[in-house]
Amino acid sequence: MTHPDLAALAASQEETGEGPGAEAARSGLPVCAADLVTDPRWPEFRVAALERGLRACTAVPAGAEGVVTTVTLYAFQPWRLAAGALEAVRVLAEETAAGLLRDHARAGAEAEAEQLRTAIASRAVIDQALGIVMHMLDCDADRAFGALRTLSQHTNRKLSVVAARIVRVKGRGSTRELRRLLGEGG
């Protein structure tokens, strides 16, 4: 069973550094509060937990790839996690942490791949625009790139947007503007 207010307890521990999860993360050891009514540790956490009807908890630390996390089990009545179950919870916590790290790495790799796809597509459009500008101005690639960059800066648009427009209109109507920006007159 899950409790709707556990996220607030976790956030409070992270902010204050007080509570069984925070202590377990710091010490690297399981932390048990068999009865929060009589346990004097972590005053703010105790009040928040008791207000939510929670009476006991055990926080089990786990590490994966240098990241420490905790799994905290809560109970609505006084309770202590059995010693044999502690190891099972630790293994589960480590596997969960490793899975979350893999998920995070995969999401990062996917985002990077998408950025690279976008960059490659932008580069192709920029290269097409360079060819058009080289033809329009009868210049080399360096000078054409400088013209695109100058146009980008003067219009306050990304280079890829300026390039896409030149490609879309096949350079029509751009020669005069490019020559003006390069100080060549019209």
Structure token digits, residue 73: 């089990």
pLDDT over 80 (residue 159): yes
pLDDT tens digits for range 1-10: 456 678 889 8
State mean pLDDT over 152-166: 89
CB 58 within 8 A of CB 30: yes
Q: Report how far residue 128's alpha carbon sits from residue 24's, in angstroms, rounded to the nearest whole number.
A: 58
pLDDT confidence of 186, banded at 50, 70, 90? very low
pLDDT over 90 (residue 67): no
118 or 35, greater pLDDT: 35
pLDDT confidence of 176, banded at 50, 70, 90? confident
pLDDT over 50 (residue 14): yes
Q: DSSP code of 72? A: E
pLDDT tens digits for range 106-126: 999 999 999 999 888 889 899
State mean pLDDT over 29-53: 94
- Give me the pLDDT at residue 170, please: 79
State mean pLDDT over 40-62: 94
172 or 61, greater pLDDT: 61
Show the DSSP H helices in 56-158 as ranges.
83-137, 141-155
Cβ within 8 Å of residue 152, ≥6 positions away: 158, 159, 161, 162
SS3 57: strand
Provide the sign of the torsion angle of the four alpha carbons 82, 87, 92, 97, taken in this order.
positive
Q: Report how far residue 70's alpha carbon sits from residue 10's, in angstroms, rounded to the nearest whole number.
A: 10
- Give me the pLDDT at residue 113, please: 92
Of 63-67, 77-81, 101-105, the least confident: 63-67
The Cα-based distances of 156 to 44, 172, 179 in angstroms read: 52, 20, 18
Q: Which long-range contacts (CB under 8 A, 24 or more apart) does 71-77 make?
A: 71/96, 72/10, 72/20, 72/21, 72/24, 74/3, 74/6, 74/49
The average confidence (pLDDT) of the chain is 87
Q: Angle, to 10 degrees, between the axis of helix 159-168 and the axis of helix 141-155? A: 110
Q: How many helices (H) and strands (E) does the chain have?
A: 7, 3
pLDDT confidence of 184, banded at 50, 70, 90? low
Distance of CA 102 to the CA centre of its chain: 13
